């Protein structure tokens, strides 16, 4: 059976029609430079505060000191990869306690789900590192080249000494910020003052310079050159967030039931017997958007819900003497309800919505922030809090004296000439404090058994006294000997480590193998 050209032509024509109408977005588009205007308002102030706090935390944290005694580093936050330790103020995480880090990552993930289901992409709009550094780069750009209109004129102007100076100055400062960003990152992995001295004197490890170079390049490229394309094409979160939102999630929304039909000449429209909405088509919301989108086109993948369009629109509405909130944080449920009220048989009826000097009709629904508190968000919060409480309980109950025991696998036991049975064990005693400790190693539950260790005098004894260095693991080779009769009766016993300074005790159940116990 053959397929005629007419069978396949409609499909090709439909696809071409969709693309030619530009209703299907391209998977990738070359970057079009965006010149966002500086906004002012409550959300812009919030972004300034968040930017100041996050940048301060990032750049200052490696220089904070925390006294842990003479045997431990005094850097408050340190990822000591060489010694496999993670120091965070009064906490010290060992490699075998990596589940604490895993718990923090799970909490971060659940917290991101909670925030997104409640207030949309607030993470992207306020605290994402890409957003924060782009804001910082824009501060530099505006300080050197001026605000939106000045930057647009400079971009279109031919090259001149003045333009060259401005561009070189801007990019030079961006590179300095990139170097500082990479430098701050490596300070988390070594003592910051010492590493800084080594970096300046060119005595630091090659990996430190390589890391600074890579982070300088990525910060400069992502924050200065690519900007919104990182959020649109590189970040997976815009695609994931759709699964996190529902009709009760707060998102930045243009209330077109109030703003349409938009127009700049209300008097001319009134003279012609027409009624316009509150939107005066000033494009202020577009001018301030760092992603270069028009929020009036509805929810879009590129929108990071930074709410700068709300500040810009509220400012225009205030100047015109109209109510604020034409663009606002709104849930889809409230938007749909208000749309039904404002829509008449012929479409949106501006007479149903607020006019200058007027007020809300009773049927219009105000967005209530309490409406976002629902079963879904409560479950997210409960899971997040439960993980946090479990980690706190585990931290409060953990012992600073650890014991790990590994039984020999070959041979499981040895028959000695006197008829007794000997088992071998590899023992590790962990001193998780920053002071040297004296400990005693004993066993319990195996009557008459004795201990020997080639690490020590190798003489049979019932207790071994040891000195364990601070913040270190002491490996031991231990042999346990028991009579054949006792070994035949007892197959489980305890190994005990007791600290002499504070009577901290750590025990571990151990199996004693004998001819009758091996199956």
Q: Is residue 420 part of a domain?
A: yes
In tens, the pLDDT along 177-215 reads: 999 999 999 999 999 999 999 999 999 999 999 999 999
The pLDDT score that the predictor gives to residue 189 is 93
Q: Is residue 31 part of a domain?
A: no
Whole-number Å distance between alpha carbons of 407 and 517 = 14
The pLDDT score that the predictor gives to residue 21 is 45
Q: Is residue 375 part of a domain?
A: no
Domain count for the chain:
3
The pLDDT score that the predictor gives to residue 317 is 92
Whole-number Å distance between alpha carbons of 218 and 17 = 39
The pLDDT score that the predictor gives to residue 18 is 44
Whether residue 152 sits in one domain with residue 87: yes
Which segments in the chain show pLDDT lower than 70?
1-28, 265-267, 269-274, 343-371, 457-458, 516-519
Whether residue 470 sits in one domain with residue 423: yes
Residue 123: alpha-carbon gap to chain centroid: 9
Q: Is residue 255 part of a domain?
A: yes
Name the nearest CA neighbour of 439 among 430, 427, 448, 426. Answer: 430
The pLDDT score that the predictor gives to residue 129 is 93
Tell whether the torsion through CA atoms of 54, 59, 62 and 67 is positive or negative: negative
Whether residue 224 sits in one domain with residue 82: yes
Whether residue 459 sits in one domain with residue 316: no
Whether residue 267 sits in one domain with residue 185: no
Q: Is residue 488 part of a domain?
A: yes
Whole-number Å distance between alpha carbons of 462 and 467 = 17
Whether residue 287 sits in one domain with residue 141: no
Whether residue 490 sits in one domain with residue 410: yes
Q: Is residue 482 part of a domain?
A: yes
Q: Is residue 410 part of a domain?
A: yes
Whether residue 475 sits in one domain with residue 360: no
Q: Tokens 């949106």 identify what position?
A: 348
Looking at 208, 236, 264, the residue that finishes a domain is 236
The pLDDT score that the predictor gives to residue 37 is 94
3-state class of 86 per DSSP?
Answer: strand
Whether residue 48 sits in one domain with residue 172: yes
Whether residue 161 sits in one domain with residue 128: yes
Looking at 324, 344, 367, the residue that finishes a domain is 367
Q: How far apart are the first and last CA of the chain?
A: 70
The model scores a pTM over 0.85: no
Looking at 236, 258, 283, the residue that finishes a domain is 236
458: domain CATH number is 2.60.40.10
Q: By residue range, what is the domain housing residue 443?
A: 401-511
Whether residue 222 sits in one domain with residue 90: yes
Whether residue 258 sits in one domain with residue 185: no
What's the CA angle centered on 135, arms 214 and 316, to 5 degrees? 160
Q: Is residue 387 part of a domain?
A: no
């Amino acid at each position: 059976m053959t397929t005629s050209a007419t069978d396949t032509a409609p499909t090709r024509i439909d696809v071409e029609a969709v693309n030619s109408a530009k209703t299907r977005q391209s998977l990738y588009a070359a970057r079009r430079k965006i010149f966002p205007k500086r906004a002012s308002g409550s959300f812009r102030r919030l972004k300034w505060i968040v930017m100041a706090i996050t940048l301060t935390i990032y750049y200052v944290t490696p220089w904070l000191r925390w006294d842990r005694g003479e045997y431990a580093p005094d850097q408050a936050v340190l990822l000591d990869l060489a010694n496999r330790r993670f120091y965070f103020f009064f906490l010290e995480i060992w490699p075998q306690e990596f589940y604490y880090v895993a718990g923090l990552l799970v909490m971060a993930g659940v917290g991101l789900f909670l925030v997104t289901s409640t207030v949309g992409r607030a993470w992207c709009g306020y605290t994402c590192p890409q957003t924060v550094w782009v804001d910082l780069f824009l501060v530099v750009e505006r300080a050197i080249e001026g605000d939106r209109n000045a930057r647009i004129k400079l971009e279109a102007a031919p090259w001149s000494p003045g333009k060259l100076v401005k561009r070189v100055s801007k990019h030079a400062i961006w590179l300095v910020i990139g170097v500082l960003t990479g430098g701050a990152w490596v300070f988390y992995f070594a003592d910051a003052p010492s590493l800084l001295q080594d970096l300046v004197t060119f005595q630091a490890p090659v990996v430190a310079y390589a890391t600074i170079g890579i982070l300088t390049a990525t910060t400069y490229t992502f924050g200065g050159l690519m900007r919104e394309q990182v959020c649109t094409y590189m970040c997976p979160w815009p695609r994931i967030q759709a699964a996190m939102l529902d009709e009760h999630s707060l998102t930045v929304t243009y209330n077109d039931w109030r703003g349409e039909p938009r127009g700049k000449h209300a008097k001319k429209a009134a003279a012609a017997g027409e009624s316009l909405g509150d939107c005066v088509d000033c494009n202020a919301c577009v001018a301030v958007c760092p992603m270069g989108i028009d929020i009036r086109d509805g929810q879009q993948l590129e929108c990071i819900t930074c709410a700068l369009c709300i500040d810009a629109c509220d400012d225009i509405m205030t100047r015109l003497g109209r109510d604020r909130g034409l663009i606002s944080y709104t849930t889809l449920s409230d938007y749909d309800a208000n749309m039904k009220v404002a829509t008449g048989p012929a479409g949106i009826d501006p007479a149903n919505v607020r006019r200058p000097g007027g007020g809300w009709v009773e049927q219009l629904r105000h967005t209530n922030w309490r409406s976002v508190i629902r079963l879904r968000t409560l479950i997210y919060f409960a899971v997040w809090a439960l993980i946090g409480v479990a980690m706190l309980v585990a931290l409060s109950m953990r012992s600073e004296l650890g014991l790990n025991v590994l039984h020999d696998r070959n041979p499981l036991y040895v028959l000695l000439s006197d008829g007794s049975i000997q088992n071998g064990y590899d023992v590790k005693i962990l001193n998780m404090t920053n002071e040297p400790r004296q400990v005693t190693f004993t066993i319990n539950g195996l009557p008459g058994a004795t201990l020997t260790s080639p690490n020590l005098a190798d003489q049979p004894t019932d207790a071994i006294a040891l000195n364990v260095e601070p913040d270190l693991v002491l490996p031991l080779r231990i042999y346990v000997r028991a009579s054949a009769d006792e070994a035949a009766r007892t197959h489980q016993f305890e190994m005990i480590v007791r600290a002499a300074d504070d009577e901290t005790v750590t025990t571990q159940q151990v199996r004693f193998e004998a001819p009758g116990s091996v199956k």
